[in-house]
Amino acid sequence: MRDTSFAGIVVEQYTGDAKDATDPTARTGDPLLVNPEVSGPYGTADSGPRPGTALGFAPRPGSPLIGNGTVVPDNGGRDYRGAPPYRGRPDVGAVEGAPDGRA
């Protein structure tokens, strides 16, 4: 299970077949993320953070995370990469899937 917190949203995506028995809306399985195995560099004291590495956690086309999020009022108006957060139903996670199907 991975928790993601962004703009007041906390979501859970369970990987594999395990799911919290108390969560009737849980999603299980492969979340189809762009590149969840990202590894540094995450930046240095001199360069500052490199937040672009987090974009590996964007949903790919066909991801069960797409369109299964919850609308959150006063969400700041942008996702992690600066795009509008909702095109139809929101996606689960900090990065909204790209409108053209590319992550």
Give the number of other CB atoms < 10 A from CB of residue 40: 8
Task: Kindly tell me if the per-residue pLDDT of 74 is higher than 60.
Answer: yes
Angstrom distance (rounded) from CA 8 to CA 46: 30
Contact 35, 26 (CB under 8 A): no
Q: Please indicate whether residue 69 or residue 19 has the higher confidence score (pLDDT).
A: 69
- Asked whether residue 57 is domain-assigned, the answer is yes
Q: Which residue has the higher pLDDT, 41 or 71?
A: 71
Q: Please indicate whether residue 47 or residue 103 has the higher confidence score (pLDDT).
A: 47
In angstroms, what CA-CA distances link 3 with 63, 76, 93, 101? Answer: 17, 20, 9, 24
Residue 38, domain extent: 31-103
Q: Could you tell me if residue 67 is inside a domain?
A: yes
Which residue would you say has higher pLDDT here, 53 or 59? Answer: 59
Higher pLDDT, 1 or 59: 59
Classify residue 20: in a domain, yes or no. no
φ, ψ of residue 73 in degrees (nearest 5) = -70, 150
Average pLDDT, integer, range 88-103: 72
pLDDT at 4: 46
- pLDDT at position 51 over 80: no
Domain annotation covers residue 59: yes
Whether residue 11 is contained in a domain is answered as no
Which structure tokens are listed for 19?
């799911």
Task: For residue 84, tell me if it sits in a domain.
Answer: yes
Q: What is the pLDDT of residues 8-37, one digit of tens each?
A: 444 555 555 565 657 776 767 788 988 888
Q: Which long-range contacts (CB under 8 A, 24 or more apart) does 16-25 make?
A: none
Residue 7 lies in a domain: no
Answer yes or no: is 102 within a domain.
Answer: yes
Q: How many domains does the chain have?
A: 1
